[in-house]
Amino acid sequence: MLYILYGPDDYSRHQALAGIKKSLGDDVSTGNNVTSIDGTTVNINEFKVACETVPFLAEKRFVLIDGLLERFELRKKPATVKKANRSKDDNNEWQVFADGMKTLPESTILVLIDGQVDKKNPLLKEIADVAQVRDFPLLKYRELPEWIKKRVAQSGARISPPAVELMAKLVGNDLWAMENEIDKLVLFTAGRVIEEKDVRMIVSHAQETSVFAMVDAIMENKVGLAQELLQQLMQNGAMPAYLLTMLARQLRLAVLIKEMTAQRKAKSEIQTKLALADYAMQKSTEQAEKYPMDKLKMFYEKLLETDIAIKIGKYDDELALNILVVELCQH
């Protein structure tokens, strides 16, 4: 049996993986009958050994390969590179893996788990017909409230509609972070309904996420929303100096991602070099793709000017930050 779990929603992918393991029972999904493989480096011999090994005191064995599909993503090639210069192995290796997956022993449960993969991926296209394929896109904002309510209910708790909306706004669709914040809120409220004030008090992810939202509002010239988010952050205890630093950091990340993408670096490589969590990488990439380089650099320079104005005493930090937000929204 072959399963393919892929998509940018890392949380849902791993929940689905846990469900598959649970359905197999402990004699298959734990101990000597489990093999985990790094798909970015595995060769065909290692693959065959893992998949063809006979189960130990069980009917099935479980093999998990992480990152194999992404390894065969179709990368854009520079115009100067000719097809004749490409290695035969580069073109055909995925086919060897595909052939092996089509002839899996009945005793082997193989799961491929990957992040963002194009539907034109050659390995995915070749084996899709012989696999159970599940794609996990990120939840859309309108889907988040229902997810939050269900997750809170699973914890045996209740949450008010305003609290649900605020959670969706502050945490976004990073479901690992959302689950963590919900667990903290359930413990904090100890049986009573989770209210909006509890979310404002407990959710640690709120400030970073609101900074992302404020950058988006500034970039889209939504001055009212940008000012509202700025005031919320300061009311919740964020210092102006911290917010200025976070804004500068976010714009710098967008610039770096844009530059490295132009250099044809893979997203996984960029994420590693910048040491970003999945959600921060996703939001920073969205902003890098959405806004032109000259605008990103201009905003970054304005932030530096504001920092200097504060340090030389031209404005106090709170006033300077408010002026900055209005000025940026006018560009």
> 230 and 192, same structural domain?
no
Residue 220: its pLDDT value, please?
77
Reading the block at residue 254, the tokens are 């967008």
Reading the block at residue 132, the tokens are 């159970």
Calculate the alpha carbon distances from 181 to 10, 105, 171, 199, 261 in Å.
Answer: 17, 43, 9, 9, 32
Instruction: Write down which residue in 107, 135, 163 finishes a domain.
Output: 135
> 119 and 155, same structural domain?
no
> 108 and 47, same structural domain?
yes
What is the total count of domains within the chain?
3
* Run of H or E including 2: strand 2-6
Give the domain CATH number at 14.
3.40.50.300
> 269 and 178, same structural domain?
no
Residue 85: its pLDDT value, please?
41
> 87 and 156, same structural domain?
no
Q: Are strands 34-38 and 132-135 parallel, antiparallel or unpaired?
A: unpaired
In order along its 331 residues, the chain shows pLDDT tens digits of 999 999 988 889 999 999 998 888 776 666 788 899 999 899 999 999 999 988 888 888 899 999 999 888 876 444 443 444 444 445 588 999 999 999 999 999 999 999 888 888 999 999 999 999 999 988 887 888 999 999 999 999 999 999 998 888 777 777 888 898 899 999 999 999 999 988 877 875 556 667 778 877 887 788 888 888 888 777 766 677 778 887 888 888 888 999 999 998 888 888 888 877 676 788 788 888 888 888 888 888 888 888 888 888 888 888 888 888 888 887 7
> 119 and 59, same structural domain?
yes
> 38 and 16, same structural domain?
yes
> 217 and 123, same structural domain?
no
> 129 and 184, same structural domain?
no
What is the residue range of 118's domain? 2-135
Residue 134: its pLDDT value, please?
95
Residue 268: its pLDDT value, please?
83
> 104 and 153, same structural domain?
no
Residue 205: its pLDDT value, please?
55
Distance CA 66, CA 58 (A): 24
Residue 146: its pLDDT value, please?
95
> 320 and 257, same structural domain?
yes
Residue 59: its pLDDT value, please?
85
Give the domain CATH number at 243.
1.20.272.10
